[in-house]
Amino acid sequence: MKRKLAALLCSVLLLTGCGNDNTLPKCADLITTTDREISVSVSRIDNLPSDFLMGADVSSYLSIDKSGAVYYDYDGNKLDMDGFFALLKSSGMDIVRFRVWNDPYDDKGRGYGGGNCDTQAAVTMGQSATKAGLQVMIDFHYSDFWADPNKQMTPKAWLVMSDDEKEAALESFTRESLTKLKDAGVNVTIVSVGNETDNGMSGETGWAERCSLYNAGSRAIREVFSDALIAVHYSNPEHDYVTYAKHLADYNVDYDIFGTSYYPCWHGSLENLTSVMKEIADITGKRVMVLETSWAYTLEDGDGNGNTVSHEENSDNPYYSFSVQGQADEISSVTQAIADVGDAALGCLYWEPAWIPVNYYNPQGRDADKVLEANRKAWEKYGSGWASSYASVYDPADAGVYYGGSAVDNQALFDFAGYALDSLNTFRYMREGHEAEGLTLSQIIMPAPISLEYGEDIHDYLPMTVRGELDNKQRLTFNVEWDEEELAGITEVGEYTAHCTITDEIPGSDGTPRKVMIKVNILPENLLINGDMERGDATGWTISDPMAGITTDDPYRGDYSLHFWSEGQVSFTASQSITAGADGELVFSMKAQGGDMGDGHIVKIVVTNESTGASVEGSVTLAGWQKWQETGSIGDSGIPSLEAGAGDKITLEIVVSGAAGGWGTIDDVFLAYK
């Protein structure tokens, strides 16, 4: 009941818009969302090293606070800065991270945005964090604005310097910045020399130059904070970290922590994260950390500046649900993955949980235009968006064109109105374990339809588990039992529905058996050899070029597919011939997915009766990754079947051509009697 009421309030109140600007309605206290009431379930992580650090980068907090936005605790109490950092501490964080830019201002002193994160901002927030009992990590970008794998711009003041001068300037900048923090009593325990420096730092791309700069930073860190640990930071565990580590060793870089970012949409599997970081720890003897990760609790935008993770880009995801529970699942599984490295694992930090909208912007709201205008003013004045227009002098190509608000407000651990979400408690829950109470199963995720050929055993294809979602969007896997009596009748060619029953206990259930259905399609016997590619090699097929071959990349069904990719023009055929065993009509089909094939590309299938000269063909236009397209006389009544007489030679040829860089997979190629 409580939840329904909240949802109703939400739909009414959100229409009015909300703001902290004086000219806007003061309704932030009244805004409510159902997300806020949802409690999350988190399994206890048993193998955390004793000194493991949980935490987050909250660099934008101060500029959001200055812009007038308000943060609230779990009970709806307003938080001042000390209260905010105390909430992070009581939610299980040990450490907070602040980025520091050298000089994020134009010549009139106007901030570039992205929090206007200079040393003074780190001092102000760092004092409050220290008071709350949190450790502080300083993340030097050694740039005047954002530094990442695509951008490592030299600070303005260093542009005219020689390499030696730049090294000296970096050392003295680090010394001065850290001395200010030390004098202010900030408890700095980790300092990062550079941010995501995979491809360079401060305008230097060579490893020799970069390593000299790292060491200049390290000298100053050891001098000012002799007990602090020094981190290097790279962006993606799918990059060649082993080579990076070798360069660091070859150039005698003085560091303690090899850190990585890990964003699940872009940075590979958790298994890879664990194995790469374990290898690095083994090779280097250093500690390892995840320095950035995050997940969205919604695909909505809250501030009027479109988000990186959005309905447009991410409507289906194979990872976690876009929900408060999804955030808890992401944080805990990434933490588990780094903990699985062993004693070398030192921590896992969430990125920007506090980067909320200045004012909640709802494009349908009555005051929408006013709200957006107020947000734009704040982004310019206080730097609370990712970039202000003033950054254009320093970063004309990116900030100069796209300056605006936050692209990550839906990844915060506070909702759009500033109320703490229970996902913020994940840091605490991971040490203790936490079960949300009163949850019920809200939906079963329908298992994908299965197809098998006549004569194959259906048990080889039926899933043994189904996935369900609780009302807090937590996804669980349930074991099932199939109805064997029903399966015994599913043997002839045709479409069927099969049923199973969940055998595991279902949260919130009164014990009534829960049935789940699946669609089954029994296909006629395939006359092709290895048409489903499941032999795992090219058996049966003649493939004209090594740009195509049987691999485990993106199969439609089973474990293998015919995969292709070419740096140059895509051009190949895959074919096979059979002898017709009887008089009859032949039908065919093919599944394909892929992209980057350019205009006028061809993915065609041609079936020819060599004895009569007659042929039929179908084609598909590739529509993107895992967007499967089908063609053939089975799937398309517009394509006629092909007449065959006993003993006729039938050739099936797949013809693919497209632009350089084209890629895709072909699977489930089928030739059968109608």
Only one of the segments 1-9, 306-314, 390-398, 554-562 lies at the binding site for Ca ion (rule: CB under 5 A); that segment is 306-314
Residues 6+ apart with CB under 8 A from 353: 56, 58, 294, 411, 412, 413, 414, 424
Q: What's the rounded Cα separation, in Å, for the pair 525 and 584?
A: 14
Residues 6+ apart with CB under 8 A from 29: 76
What residues between 170 and 199 interact with Ca ion by CB under 5 A?
A: none
User: Which is nearest to 371 in space by CA: 629, 50, 16?
Assistant: 16
The number of residues making up the chain comes to 674
Measured from the CB atom, the residue of 375 and 526 that comes closer to Ca ion is 375
Burial pattern 316-347, b for ≥16 Cβ within 10 A else e, equals ebeebbbbbbbbbbbbbbbbbbbbbbeebbbb
Q: Which of 144, 301, 352, 668 binds Ca ion (CB under 5 A)?
A: 301
CB 412 → Ca ion: shortest distance, Å? 10
- Do residues 328 and 270 touch, judged by C-beta distance below 8 A? no
Measured from the CB atom, the residue of 152 and 307 that comes closer to Ca ion is 307
Burial pattern 217-250, b for ≥16 Cβ within 10 A else e, equals bbbbbeebbeebbbbbbbbbbebebeebbeebee
Measured from the CB atom, the residue of 68 and 447 that comes closer to Ca ion is 68
CB 494 → Ca ion: shortest distance, Å? 50
Measured from the CB atom, the residue of 329 and 409 that comes closer to Ca ion is 409
Tokens of 242: 């082993």
CB 48 → Ca ion: shortest distance, Å? 33
- Do residues 522 and 672 touch, judged by C-beta distance below 8 A? no
CB 251 → Ca ion: shortest distance, Å? 40
Measured from the CB atom, the residue of 107 and 312 that comes closer to Ca ion is 312
Burial pattern 394-405, b for ≥16 Cβ within 10 A else e, equals bbeebbeeebbb
CB 36 → Ca ion: shortest distance, Å? 19
CB 272 → Ca ion: shortest distance, Å? 30
Only one of the segments 269-277, 404-412, 513-521, 554-562 lies at the binding site for Ca ion (rule: CB under 5 A); that segment is 404-412
Residues serving a catalytic function are 196, 292
Tokens of 179: 């001395």
Q: Is 415 in the site for Ca ion (CB under 5 A)?
A: no
* H or E stretch at 218: helix 207-224
Measured from the CB atom, the residue of 118 and 301 that comes closer to Ca ion is 301
- Do residues 130 and 183 touch, judged by C-beta distance below 8 A? no
Only one of the segments 33-41, 398-406, 444-452, 587-595 lies at the binding site for Ca ion (rule: CB under 5 A); that segment is 398-406
Only one of the segments 54-62, 166-174, 299-307, 519-527 lies at the binding site for Ca ion (rule: CB under 5 A); that segment is 299-307
Q: What's the rounded Cα separation, in Å, for the pair 179 and 177?
A: 5
Only one of the segments 99-107, 267-275, 296-304, 580-588 lies at the binding site for Ca ion (rule: CB under 5 A); that segment is 296-304
Q: Is 307 in the site for Ca ion (CB under 5 A)?
A: yes
* H or E stretch at 311: helix 311-314
For residues 176, 182, 185 and 188, what is the CA-based torsion angle, rounded to 10 degrees?
110
Measured from the CB atom, the residue of 94 and 303 that comes closer to Ca ion is 303
Q: Is 303 in the site for Ca ion (CB under 5 A)?
A: yes
Only one of the segments 112-120, 222-230, 403-411, 417-425 lies at the binding site for Ca ion (rule: CB under 5 A); that segment is 403-411
For residues 311, 314, 319 and 323, what is the CA-based torsion angle, rounded to 10 degrees?
-20
Measured from the CB atom, the residue of 144 and 303 that comes closer to Ca ion is 303
Number of residues that bind Ca ion (CB under 5 A): 6
CB 221 → Ca ion: shortest distance, Å? 35
What residues between 350 and 379 interact with Ca ion by CB under 5 A?
A: none
Q: Which of 39, 119, 305, 325 binds Ca ion (CB under 5 A)?
A: 305
CB 408 → Ca ion: shortest distance, Å? 7
Q: Which of 409, 648, 653, 667 binds Ca ion (CB under 5 A)?
A: 409
Q: Which spans of this chain sit near Ca ion (rule: CB under 5 A)?
A: 301, 303, 305, 307, 406, 409
